[in-house]
Amino acid sequence: MSHFGERAKPICLRHLLTLPLIAFSMYLISMYYKRYENQWRFNIFFSGAILAGSFSGLLAYAIAKMDGTAGYAGWRWVSGRRDV
């Protein structure tokens, strides 16, 4: 995958598939809460998304450092090995 177009296609597809998810979650929040509560709920939702994004990088770094632990490659720790 050395060509830019080959690398850009999955990224664009991922973004196109996640756009309706965000819009639908905003729709659901606005259905169950009153109009003046929506701002607080949206704030919680987006703050949680930002925190999840920031900790995912730390988790990826920690998993990459586990390479060779218990005889497994680092990428195999992503699935949460239970037999170690």
Provide the strand spans (E) within 5-84: none
Each residue of 9-54: pLDDT tens digit? 888 888 888 888 888 888 988 899 888 888 898 899 889 989 998 8
Identify the pLDDT of residue 47. Answer: 93
Tokens of 68: 């060779």
Q: Which domain, by its residues, includes 25?
A: 1-32
Tell me what the mean pLDDT of segment 61-65 comes to. Answer: 81
Distance CA 22, CA 45 (A): 10
Query: CA quadruple 34, 24, 58, 68: dihedral positive or negative?
Result: positive
83 within some domain:
no
Instruction: Note the pTM of the prediction, 2 decimals.
Output: 0.56
Pick the more confident residue, 20 or 64.
Answer: 20
82 within some domain:
no
- Same domain for 45 and 65, yes or no, is yes
Distance CA 62, CA 59 (A): 5
Distance CA 41, CA 47 (A): 10
Helix, strand, coil proportions of the chain in percent (round to 5)?
80, 0, 20
How many structural domains is the chain composed of? 2
